[in-house]
Structure 1
Amino acid sequence: MTAMLNIKDLRSYYGQVQALHGLSFALNEGSLTTLLGANGAGKTTTLRAICNMVRSTGAIEFDGSSLMGRSTESIVRLGIAHVPQGRGTFTSLTVEENLQLGAISRRDRAGIIADIERMYGYFPVLKERYTQQAGTLSGGEQQMLAVARALMLKPRLMLLDEPSFGLAPLIVRDLFKILGRINREEKVTILVVEQNAQLALELADQAHVIETGRIVMSGGAKEIANNEDVRKSYLGY
């Protein structure tokens, strides 16, 4: 596989407080990678740093081009979609209006219509709710909409922050199956931050464990899942 995203010696700050302390890792094109760690470890900050939403130093390269200093909007135009924690749907707009908004930078009208139907194929419940305001959807439906809207950008890289947060286990399972399909069928590279370590490791092919802003363990997801320290700290057995 070819490295799509390279992060080297990443250090990020909130005011005078340093949140990341020299993170270095790479994402291979077509991979599905998870970041694991306790609350406050720096997982969300890593995603924000990639999108230049937090003050950072070091190097972040996407397809060989530096993302440092770029606006968040220009980073999105490069093909990087960010689904933040809390879903971030436009609650006063309908499901279909949210999907159309996801494609606002595109001009291929026929392609947009086809992609909306493709999203309904992934998430049939959204088609049933297409005229419904996003704010009236269930938490699981809002998360599905957030993922679908991000896919309307036709991204090459998708950053997902705690997609299972607040969702029932059955809905989480279904959502993660769809993410696996998106990775395989759409060839979208995915970096997912997730508290449900067991499910994330089942889904991913690579994993990094973050503690207090530092990567303390990296490897294949199966290897990480079988690590005794990881099992005790994150898997509960």
Structure 2
Amino acid sequence: MSAMLDIQDLRAYYGQVQALHGLQFSLNEGSVTTLLGANGAGKTTTLRSICNMIRSTGTIRFEGKPLTGKSTESIVKLGIAHVPQGRGTFTRMTVEENLQLGAITRSDTKAIAGDIERMYGHFPKLRERSSQQAGTLSGGEQQMLAVARALMLRPRLMLLDEPSFGLAPLVVRDLFGILGKINREDKVTILVVEQNAQLALEIAKQAYVIETGRIVMSGDAKEIADNEDIRKSYLGY
């Protein structure tokens, strides 16, 4: 089976500083994969490289088609949604306006309305806050809105950057439970970058560990979670 996303010899740069050093990994359709590592390891840079937000070299293929040289907007239209660290909601717009904006590339008005209802089903709190400005939501609610807005694209692949950052443990559990449900029911392939390695390994099937811009470990998520030496050496728990 060919990979949905295939990355070969990925190198990324901030000015003259090289941040990624020949990354190579792939994602299968319908999978949940986690990319783990400490702050500054290159996790966020990897997601930005996939979306062509920074200068990079190497080969990135999505469903067999090269992403190299494509604009970020073109990559989104192919079915790749990116939920960046810090949520990135439009704070002066209401919850529902944010969801509508998530479907800006679509013209199927009736289906968009149906998808908004589906998002409210995934995230009941958002229905309660539908007319509220996004900037007045709690951190957990803003993260839920960011995920829901990305799903309004009807993506094939979702890239999530530190979705648990700054959230209370119970909120994080709820959010990861919803992500697992979205993967199972909506068949969205997920690549999640996380510092909460323990939780990420619970929902992921495959895991990659990155250190100073290089992948130093990969394998079945459960096997990595069960390996005490790996956890202590690379994951800090």
Q: TM-score, normalised by structure 1?
A: 0.98
Contact 1:12 1:18 in 2 (8 A): yes
Q: Distance in 2 between matches of 1:118 and 1:180?
A: 16
**Secondary structure in 1 matching 2:153:** coil
C-alpha contact (below 8 Å) 2:94/2:133 kept by paired residues:
yes
Is the partner of 2:41 in helix, strand or coil?
coil
Rounded to whole Å, the distance in 2 between the matches of 1:208 and 1:54 is 21
- CA distance in 1 between counterparts of 2:67 and 2:136 reads 36
Distance 1:77 1:191 in 2: 18
Could you give the per-residue CA deviations for residues 111-135 of structure 1, whole angstroms, max 9, x where no partner exists? 0000000000000000000000000
What is the percentage of aligned positions where both structures have the same residue? Answer: 82
Q: Determine the C-alpha separation between the residues in 2 that align with 1:141 and 1:9.
A: 37
Q: Once the 2 structures are TM-superposed, how far is the Cα of residue 230 of structure 1 from its aligned partner?
A: 2.4
> Offset at 1:2?
3.9
Say which SS state the counterpart of residue 68 (structure 1) adopts. coil
Q: Which residue of 2 aligns with 1:194?
A: 194
The answer (yes or no) to whether the contact 1:197–1:234 under 8 Å persists in 2 is no
What does residue 93 of structure 2 align with? 93
Matched residue SS, 1:3: coil
Partner in structure 2 of residue 40 of structure 1: 40
C-alpha deviation, 1:81, in angstroms: 0.1
What SS does the corresponding residue of 2:91 show, helix, strand or coil?
A: coil
Q: Quick check: 1:33–1:191 contact (8 Å CA) kept in 2?
A: yes
Equivalent positions of 1:110-121 (< 5 A) are: 110-121=110-121
Letter in 2 for 1:32: V
Pairwise mapping of residues 56-75 of structure 1 onto structure 2 (< 5 A)?
A: 56-75=56-75
Contact 1:89 1:142 in 2 (8 A): yes
Flag the 1:144–1:108 CA change in 2: closer, same or farther, 3 A: same
1:204-223 alignment, distance < 5 Å: 204-223=204-223
SS of the residue aligned with 2:68?
coil
Any stretches of 5+ residues in structure 2 without a counterpart? none
Distance 2:26 2:62 in 1: 10
Asked if 1:227 is matched to 2:234, the reply is no
**Corresponding position of 1:80:** 80
Displacement of 1:236: 4.5
Deviations 1:146-173 (A, max 9, x none): 0000000000000000000000000000
Q: Distance in 1 between matches of 2:52 and 2:161?
A: 15
Aligned length: 237
Secondary structure at 2:4's aligned position in 1? strand
Residue 165 of structure 2 aligns with an amino acid whose one-letter code is F
1:51 is aligned to 51
Tell me the distance in 2 between the aligned counterparts of 1:30 and 1:110. 26
1:160 aligns with 2:180: no
Runs of 4 or more, structure 1, over 3 Å off, are 233-237
| 1:105 corresponds to | 105
Q: Distance between the aligned counterparts of 2:235 and 2:218, measured in 1? A: 16
**Distance of 2:10 and 2:232 partners within structure 1:** 28
Q: Give the structure 2 partner of residue 138 of structure 1.
A: 138
Unaligned runs of 5+ residues in structure 1 are: none
The one-letter code of the counterpart of 2:145 is L
Paired AA for residue 197 in structure 1? A
Distance 1:157 1:236 in 2: 28
Partners of 2:21 and 2:202 lie apart in 1 by: 28
- Following superposition, the deviation at residue 75 of structure 1 comes to 0.2
Q: What TM-score do the two structures reach when normalised by structure 2?
A: 0.98
Deviates more, 1:157-166 or 1:223-232: 223-232
Aligned to 1:171: 171
Rounded Cα–Cα distance in structure 2 between residues aligned with 1:2 and 1:83: 25
Alignment deviations for residues 192-223 of structure 1 (CA, whole Å, 9 cap, x no partner): 00000000000100000000000000001011
- Assess if the C-alpha contact under 8 Å between 1:91 and 1:134 holds in 2: yes
